[in-house]
Amino acid sequence: KAIAEILINEGYAKSFQVIEDGKQGIIRIQLKYGPNKAQVITGLRRVSKPGLRIYTNVEDMPRVIRGLGIAILSTSKGIMTDRQARKDNVGGEVLAFVW
């Protein structure tokens, strides 16, 4: 849910809906499109995986396509973008890159 809110705040998605299915639940995200139905999200890469966790500190935090994209991190202060983590001076687990 926090990742969906980040995608909305960063302008990659319009809205999201949580669907209860009696199990773990489903989140349906409505993506944004630009003029001529061009995709706003051109790429998405999952970084940390259950078998290989990737952590970073503030100094080594990655910039996605020289700042044009975002990195989504799980920090001690919650899930946030790389920009917010730099501002709050916290590192954490790199979950995904979106550009």
29 touches 19 (CB < 8 A): no
Domain coordinates in residue numbering, the chain: 2-98
Q: Say which residues have a Cβ less than 8 Å from residue 36's Cβ, sequence separation at least 6.
A: none
pTM (two decimals): 0.87
pLDDT tens digits for range 25-41 = 999 999 999 888 899 99
Beta strand spans in 20-65 (E): 26-31, 44-46, 55-56
Give the mean pLDDT of 40-63.
94
Residue entry with tokens 């995608």: 7
- What top-level class would CATH report for the domain 2-98? alpha beta
What is the spatial distance between Cα 22 and Cα 58, in angstroms, rounded to a whole number?
Answer: 39
